[in-house]
Amino acid sequence: MKTLDELIMLAEEKGLKVVETPLQSVSGILADRTIFLDPSLSNREMRCVLAEEIGHYMTGGGDTVRSKNPSNIRWTEGRAMKVAMELLLDWHKAVQLFCQGLSVADVAEHFDVPVHFMEAAVKRWGFYG
């Protein structure tokens, strides 16, 4: 479970620059070894967006914004999201928390991620339909 500062350091270790700048229609984007993040995001949201953009870099994800192929976009986004989940979540701890009866919202709170991010992880891990 990486903090925002740890994610920024990870990006920098990989030769990426992280810049906060107002963006339209996206929360973050990777272009020319720079990750642009919208400063209006909460810390929680920024961690998720930064982790996913690092995931795009680590998986060689291309420019999905201009892609015309929906299946290619889903595949590329899925690979980046998998990396983001690995950076922000601990699967074994999540299983323990769910077995204790915690809700998706409670587990999201534990990992300091938005509920929609935790719901995507739960779906990807196959916990629920």
pTM of the model: 0.87
Task: Say how many domains are in the chain.
Answer: 1
**pLDDT digit string, tens, across residues 35-93:** 999 999 999 999 999 999 999 999 886 544 555 665 666 767 888 999 999 999 999 99
Helix (H, G, I), strand (E, B) or coil at 71: helix
Which pLDDT score is estimated for 127? 74
Instruction: Give the pLDDT score at 77.
Output: 80
- Helix H or strand E encompassing 35: strand 34-37
Domain with 45, as residue range(s), is 4-125
51 contact partners, CB below 8 Å, separation of at least 6: 2, 7, 83, 84, 87, 88
CATH of the domain at 38: 1.10.10
| CA pair distance 56, 64, nearest whole angstrom | 10
Q: What is the pLDDT of residue 129?
A: 43
Rg, Å, the chain Cα set: 15
